[in-house]
A and B are shown apart, each in its own frame.
Chain A
Amino acid sequence: EAQVTQNPRYLITVTGKKLTVTCSQNMNHEYMSWYRQDPGLGLRQIYYSMNVEVTDKGDVPEGYKVSRKEKRNFPLILESPSPNQTSLYFCASTRWGAQGSSSYEQYFGPGTRLTVT
């Protein structure tokens, strides 16, 4: 079964305490990404990775880091969390169609609800 898993699902932490949210996919996709979802703002891309060791910033990368040492894993790292990073986070794994093709399949993880106090 195609699956994207995230851990933890819920996390309450304090300002400045480093944390990592893990993401893993079993579809051998090259492309993975992280989004945050906030009320009234919709999903916004934080970082993405086109393949192992290839990562780049999305629309809202400030305060976040990522790494892609293996194809299946794409952890999101908050070195010094702040209250404005309280949000619902989704990892996504994407299979793009051939170059120029309009097709893609995107699978989202179940989400991680993070609260920073």
Chain B
Amino acid sequence: KNQVEQSPQSLIILEGKNCTLQCNYTVSPFSNLRWYKQDTGRGPVSLTIMTFSENTKSNGRYTATLDADTKQSSLHITASQLSDSASYICVVSVPSGGGADGLTFGKGTHLIIQP
């Protein structure tokens, strides 16, 4: 069964500090991996997407890495800001392109930035 496991479940850090969120998956065959940010009470918004051949992708202070051999990804947040407080969701897709969308969602990491 395709699964996406995220850790930690929740994380509290001080403003200005860095943090790293983890995503391990067993999805096969693999097409791509996306990180979403979901603010409280809002829909998820895409941060990065990586295919099999990519091992890093940045979006401002967010840097995602992918190790397709070990089926692990991480999202690193640099110099955290209060606005980074949100849930971060890892989503892995199979190359279906339609039908049931072939997306497997992680349960998310709830990140709280404290001033």
Q: Do A and B truly interact? A: yes
Interface of A is mostly: strand
| Interface segment, one of A13-21, A66-74, A76-84, A89-97 | A89-97
Minimal beta-carbon separation of B64 from chain A (angstroms): 15
- Of A31, A102, A105, A109, the most chain B CB neighbours within 10 A belong to A102
* Contact assessment for A40 and B98 in the assembled complex, using a CB-CB cutoff below 8 Å: no
Report the interface size for chain B: residues with CB under 8 A from the other chain.
Answer: 24
Q: Once the chains bind, are B31 and A102 in contact (CB under 8 Å)?
A: yes
> For A44, what are the chain B residues with a Cβ–Cβ distance below 8 Å?
105
Count of interface residues, chain A, beta-carbon cutoff 8 Å = 34
Q: Determine if B99 is an interface residue (Cβ-Cβ < 8 Å).
A: yes
In the assembled complex, 16 residue pairs joining A and B whose CB atoms fall closer than 8 Å, in A order, are A4-B43, A31-B101, A40-B107, A43-B105, A45-B101, A50-B98, A58-B100, A59-B100, A92-B43, A99-B97, A100-B95, A102-B51, A102-B95, A104-B97, A110-B42, A111-B42
Report B's interface with A, CB cutoff 8 A.
Answer: 31-32, 41-46, 49, 51-52, 89, 93, 95, 97-101, 103, 105-108
